[in-house]
Structure 1
Amino acid sequence: MTVSLDTDTRTADGLSGPAIKLWEHPSPKSTQLWQFVERLNKTYNLQLKSYEEAHSWSIKNIAKLWGEVWQHCGIRASQPYTKVVDEAAPIFPRPSFFEGSGLNFAENLLYPTQSVDPNSPAVIAATETTREIVSWAELQERVRQCQAGMIALDLKEGDRVAGYVANHTNALVAMLAATSLGCIWTAVSPDTGVTAVLDRMQQIEPALLFTDNAAFYNGRSHPVMDKLVDIVAALPTLKAVVMFQTVQTVDVDTSTIKMSSGKAYDYKSFVALGDQNSAMVFAQLPADHPVYILYSSGTTGAPKCIVHGAVGTLIQHKKEHILHCDIRPGDRLFYFTTCTWMMWHWLVSGLASGATLILYDGSPFRSVSPEDPLTSVPDDLAMPRLIDELGITHFGTSAKYLSVLEQKSCKPLKELSLETLQAIYSTGSPLAPSTFQYVYDAFPKRINLGSITGGTDIISLFGAPNPLLPVHAGEIQCLGLGMACAAYDYAGNDITSTGEAGDLVCTKPFPCQPVAFWGKDGDKKYRSSYFEKFEGVWHHGDFVRFNPETKGLVMLGRSDGILKPAGVRFGSAEIYNVLLKHFADEVADALCIGRRRENVDADETVCLFLKMAEGKEFSQELVDRIQKTVREELSARHVPGVVEECPEIPVTTNGKKVEGAVKQILCGLNVKTSASVANADCLDWYRNWAKTHA
């Protein structure tokens, strides 16, 4: 495929020059998204000829759009809806969607409206050393058995069921069993510390906890039991703890679990509690009945408990999978994720579109040893090999993973066919323009590289992939259907069409807005999280620029990572992109923070902290080269005033850089960082730095 240049009008906030077009679909009218556009044309006597026209119609006709998505993508319901949504209602308080309908979330995943062969794989679970294939019929039976155990423990609609689990089939089964009964599922990865788990689970008071006996990562097992004892002791609402033997070489010892009420079971004993001959039941519930509790990053305080509803989660995921990703029954969907991250919830909803899920738990850089199938060995191409082995069609990962492959100069196509691969999706942080180019050099040029953005707050996407549109380096292809997003400046002016950078907002209701925040101050936290900065619109907390020519989105990082020296606003991602492009072999990672202390600094200073690559030394010569390159690539206003070496970059348990907490430390604010910072001890270095650079 020939790379072509499209005209582009970039602003001084970031990249300049033409947008580089890297991909376009060879037959866009064969896609399910185009079929949906044709449906709209026929149903409403329209003449929509492009995605841009379809999106414009979708945000002007919210009720019609989501009603058509319900019908076209298929929602299994026992009662039809009486109204899609009140289009006159404000975005907050959240309006109800699909009032009057009755449905069950788990039923839609286990028995999709799309046709599937019950004997075909529903799930393929992989680790560094093992593979497990589970058919649709087998998955349904395993959920039935797990549900029967829950019924025996007298779990009720609305009870919280928690997982301290990795990404494997048993975690999926537990979630489906819980939501089949109208319980609410929440999960935290087993590599998370006790304090971080309790910061979350003590707020929601779970009735049942599923846990792994150990975690396995990077070639060795990691114990869970010591942490589990402390976690269970601090959760008095538990009726039971159920342990999976996830790591076969580690025994399941329930005797060490001391509970104020209830009992600890191994999984086999738990299943035996239930009626072995019972039929599976699906509680038919209102459309907005809660199914998931997810958690905000909590980098500067206790995590907020974000409650997501059945229909919003389901219909948004089906829209994204079927229309935006062109996923069809039998396609194989992979996302490298933990059960904590919203992308796990996005992944498992692939069942509702008839896709086969590929669940992976382990290091992305280890493969089964050719000499000993019970052990794993380091392998930079472990995930590309998995694509070939399992026939993955849609491969999802983080921007960080792709940038590591880029830095290592990995070329999967030199060794592998990757013939099944149709798309690569990237999220978690902005994907650098150079990494876009790398992917199309190292992977098949036919794939749709979908840089996507959304988040825990909406359990889905604002910026989506699109088979009808080209891929331009550094840009998310489009806004999803029905998502009325814009860029606002600090004064609340819409600057979308200007190409200037601003805060990402959403101006009209959408079904995957949280149904609530958990707790007595939930309504207050809900409002303050999204609706206080700009009146009447959803403020998402991301800094973004819309390209006026391509209509693509350029993500610039979180709003708490915005820098504003001399009044020029830009995102930290712009600095990271320059480092990745020009200094990847010298700098392993970086943190870019704006520092302005009240009554001390007249202006903001851009501070850049560098974690050096192994074997590389920090020097003034390197500082000079970085500052010179930033000046040339971006502008004089972007040049960091301070460049320092640091021992470590603080990240959340999801791997995101903790810019907000470091910014507050540097600016002299009293920041209390919660245990959701995975390496919180390293923040002491930044505190000391701030004191010595007062």
Structure 2
Amino acid sequence: MPTVNPEPLWRPDAQRIARAQITKFQTWAAEQHGAPSHGGYPALHRWSVDELETFWRAVTQWFDVRFSTPCTRVLGDRSMPGARWFPGATLNYAEHALRAAATRPAEPALLYVDETHEPTPVTWSELRRQVGSLAAELRALGVRPGDRVSGYLPNIPQAVVALLATAAVGGVWTSCAPDFGARSVLDRFQQVEPVVLFTVDGYRYGGKEHDRRDVVAELRAELPTLRAVVHIPVLGTEPPRGALDWAALTASDEEPVFEQVPFDHPLWVLYSSGTTGLPKAIVQSQGGILVEHLKQLGLHCDLGPGDRFFWYTSTGWMMWNFLVSGLLTGTTIVLYDGSPGYPDTGAQWRIAERTGATLYGTSAAYVMACRKAEVHPARDFDLSKVKCVATTGSPLPPDGFRWLHDEVRDDLWIASVSGGTDVCSCFAGAVPTLPVHTGELQAPGLGTDLQSWDPGGHPVIDEVGELVVTNPMPSMPVRFWNDPDGSRYHDSYFDTYPGVWRHGDWITITSRGSVVIHGRSDSTLNRQGVRMGSADIYEVVERLPEIKESLVIGVEQPDGGYWMPLFVHLAPGAALDETLLGRIKQSIREQLSPRHVPDEVIEVPGVPHTLTGKRIEVPVKRLLQGTPLEKAVNPGSIDNLDLLHFYEGLARERA
């Protein structure tokens, strides 16, 4: 339980608060739209959810969103699912992403970094030129508004150009990273039936070249709707037969033509991890993403011209789409293609230094790996330009906050953020004008009525409950692909509390307004009626140097009993002897509670993850409950299927 009034780890000084975009926005919104001029962020947030339409109108005016046709009203229908934002309005996402080319043509829009860690710039004018050329070629290939365009691409400048050119013509972008195998990609792309595929011959990772030409050949054979394949020679090979050459498609000097599409016109399709069944194909809109990302990046992340935005991600994760949207604020974005820890664990800090990153985003897992490997970022790198380090993927443990504070800078804004692929944004996280408390997210986002609910649907404060959002957000899915009656979309978020988005996380909202994330509610541990998140246990167990990674599962037994095993993947040279076993149990008992102590600690060869790096708890739970492997999990969504056979064998032995 959070302490009522602990000392913050960090407070922004008066100057930083005055300079923040969110402060200027609040002053302006008070004059123009009746927002509260006093009371700081909590008052602004209250207003943004109470006066939802006024707030979003203010966002579009503050960021000068260009509607080629104005809207009739901000929110035509507030029901969830089915909210209708800015009905009647038309616009184009890519047009807004390239606006800085008019005023800062020679400055870098992109900084591309590979494993040599040497940044290569792409200027705003060059980015705009390539998008113009490629958009014209896509139209020549017959790509029309609503057609799907797919990318099997690493995090390289060509991927950004392809996304923006697709959006410019009103096409619908979708991408997978080239470390995905053919089956995983087909599980995603076959659902949406793309007409164009952008692809590489391979990629480089961890100092090695990975040839993907066989996978590309399989994709071409299994995607019958393709009219064109575009070859990008990362490894320098010749285009396969019948493929178009990237260089030829981006050679001309064409002014981009931006198709003006309805606000809710699809922009891209993202995929849920798909650990059971086919991945959900989540459709988000041009307008919804535009305004949500302007709010999130411009106000919450405080990004603008002069900033450099680096987030370690691949094209298979929503954070890549979020990173590209940094362009909307006129920010230079940093694209890193390579291993997060090559040639050493400190690699990402070196990239932050060499690119002059002002906001550097990474995973909580990477921060904890640096702590364990005794990396010293401030000692070894010049990080004077870094104003904020942000983390997501899983909750950042308190030790991670303290390590960043001690090892990067004591005047560092640490933003642990939490959201989801489902909204391609954050429900809670960064606020540049609020203090940071160890182990906590600063606050819910503007326009997001985030609450913690008990099973009866009543909001609770300072208690663990379900993460719910009680009002619509513009970036919520307009629909799922191939879900004609909307039942799959409804059942994913709205079947527990009708008309209210239930995300599937346990959270605490503190009486100070901050947020603590405890892990997934659908894999939540429940000992003697006390609910707890797995993240709390991972944080304690993985502090022990012998533990490389862990997985805890709570399994309801047919006889009404409850079995809670802890699986541990040991560091090289470590052994699960009585001493280590005792230390694991003692750490959990002392730092969490006796109820958190597992029934068994079992050594495993590894912890399975989704392709985006999340530990898979629910499918392992299903295996342990006797569900056959093919029904418990979608094999194409897992990073190492052999590991699951181990858990399957364990389930058989127990049965």
TM-score by length of 1: 0.91
1:139 to 2:127 alignment: yes
In 2, the alpha carbon distance for the partners of 1:504 and 1:79 equals: 36
SS at match of 2:554: strand
1:556 to 2:544 alignment: no
The code of the aligned residue for 1:574 comes to: D
**Map of 1:369 onto structure 2:** none
In 2, the alpha carbon distance for the partners of 1:116 and 1:154 equals: 32
1:230 pairs, out of 187, 202, 218, with 218
SS at match of 2:122: strand
**Map of 2:573 onto structure 1:** 615
1:323 to 2:309 alignment: no
Structure 1 633/72 Cα, relative in aligned 2: closer, same or farther at 3 Å? same
Structure 1 358/522 Cα, relative in aligned 2: closer, same or farther at 3 Å? farther
Please say if residues 166 and 338 of structure 1, whose CA atoms lie closer than 8 Å, have aligned partners that are also in contact.
yes
Please say if residues 116 and 330 of structure 1, whose CA atoms lie closer than 8 Å, have aligned partners that are also in contact.
no
1:588 to 2:574 alignment: no
State the Cα RMSD in Å: 1.6
**Map of 1:393 onto structure 2:** 358
1:427 to 2:392 alignment: yes
Please say if residues 502 and 544 of structure 1, whose CA atoms lie closer than 8 Å, have aligned partners that are also in contact.
yes
Shift of 1:410: 1.0
In 2, the alpha carbon distance for the partners of 1:72 and 1:148 equals: 31
The code of the aligned residue for 2:529 comes to: G
Structure 1 44/146 Cα, relative in aligned 2: closer, same or farther at 3 Å? closer
Please say if residues 565 and 605 of structure 1, whose CA atoms lie closer than 8 Å, have aligned partners that are also in contact.
no
The code of the aligned residue for 1:621 comes to: T
1:124 to 2:87 alignment: no
Please say if residues 398 and 429 of structure 1, whose CA atoms lie closer than 8 Å, have aligned partners that are also in contact.
yes
In 2, the alpha carbon distance for the partners of 1:412 and 1:131 equals: 19
**Map of 1:335 onto structure 2:** 311
The code of the aligned residue for 1:183 comes to: G
2:233 pairs, out of 245, 248, 253, with 245
1:531 to 2:531 alignment: no
1:80 to 2:70 alignment: yes
Please say if residues 119 and 355 of structure 2, whose CA atoms lie closer than 8 Å, have aligned partners that are also in contact.
no
SS at match of 1:564: strand
In 2, the alpha carbon distance for the partners of 1:564 and 1:520 equals: 33
Please say if residues 41 and 48 of structure 1, whose CA atoms lie closer than 8 Å, have aligned partners that are also in contact.
no
**Map of 1:363 onto structure 2:** 339
Shift of 1:91: 2.2
Shift of 1:543: 1.3
1:41 to 2:30 alignment: yes
In 2, the alpha carbon distance for the partners of 1:383 and 1:624 equals: 35
Structure 1 55/152 Cα, relative in aligned 2: closer, same or farther at 3 Å? same
Counterparts of residues 599-678 of structure 1 (less than 5 Å)? 600=559, 602-670=560-628, 671-674=631-634, 675-678=636-639
The code of the aligned residue for 1:597 comes to: Q
SS at match of 1:22: coil
The code of the aligned residue for 1:212 comes to: V
Shift of 1:145: 1.4
In 2, the alpha carbon distance for the partners of 1:603 and 1:68 equals: 54
In 1, the alpha carbon distance for the partners of 2:204 and 2:376 equals: 28
Shift of 1:690: 1.4
Shift of 1:149: 1.6
- After superposition, the C-alpha distances for 1:181-228 in whole angstroms (9 at most, x for unaligned) are 000000000010111001011110000000011110000110100111
Please say if residues 516 and 522 of structure 1, whose CA atoms lie closer than 8 Å, have aligned partners that are also in contact.
no
**Map of 1:5 onto structure 2:** none
Please say if residues 301 and 673 of structure 1, whose CA atoms lie closer than 8 Å, have aligned partners that are also in contact.
yes
In 2, the alpha carbon distance for the partners of 1:522 and 1:365 equals: 45
Shift of 1:18: 6.4
Please say if residues 20 and 473 of structure 1, whose CA atoms lie closer than 8 Å, have aligned partners that are also in contact.
no
- After superposition, the C-alpha distances for 1:448-497 in whole angstroms (9 at most, x for unaligned) are 111001110001110120111111111010100000011112232222x2
Structure 1 19/408 Cα, relative in aligned 2: closer, same or farther at 3 Å? farther
In 1, the alpha carbon distance for the partners of 2:125 and 2:602 equals: 57
**Map of 1:292 onto structure 2:** 268
SS at match of 2:468: strand
Counterparts of residues 387-536 of structure 1 (less than 5 Å)? 387-495=352-460, 497=461, 499-521=462-484, 523-536=486-499
Shift of 1:118: 0.9
**Map of 1:258 onto structure 2:** none
Structure 1 522/577 Cα, relative in aligned 2: closer, same or farther at 3 Å? farther
In 1, the alpha carbon distance for the partners of 2:547 and 2:542 equals: 8
In 1, the alpha carbon distance for the partners of 2:37 and 2:283 equals: 39
In 1, the alpha carbon distance for the partners of 2:486 and 2:348 equals: 42
Shift of 1:561: 2.3
Structure 1 611/19 Cα, relative in aligned 2: closer, same or farther at 3 Å? farther
The code of the aligned residue for 2:214 comes to: D
1:70 to 2:32 alignment: no
Structure 1 runs not aligned, ≥5 long: 1-9, 256-262, 367-377
Please say if residues 530 and 538 of structure 1, whose CA atoms lie closer than 8 Å, have aligned partners that are also in contact.
yes
**Map of 1:268 onto structure 2:** 247
In 2, the alpha carbon distance for the partners of 1:607 and 1:334 equals: 38
2:509 pairs, out of 527, 538, 546, with 546
The code of the aligned residue for 1:669 comes to: T
Structure 1 517/64 Cα, relative in aligned 2: closer, same or farther at 3 Å? same
In 2, the alpha carbon distance for the partners of 1:17 and 1:63 equals: 34
Structure 2 runs not aligned, ≥5 long: none
Shift of 1:20: 4.9
1:578 to 2:531 alignment: no
Aligned length: 648
Shift of 1:123: 0.6
- After superposition, the C-alpha distances for 1:402-437 in whole angstroms (9 at most, x for unaligned) are 110011121111122211111111001111011100
**Map of 2:193 onto structure 1:** 205
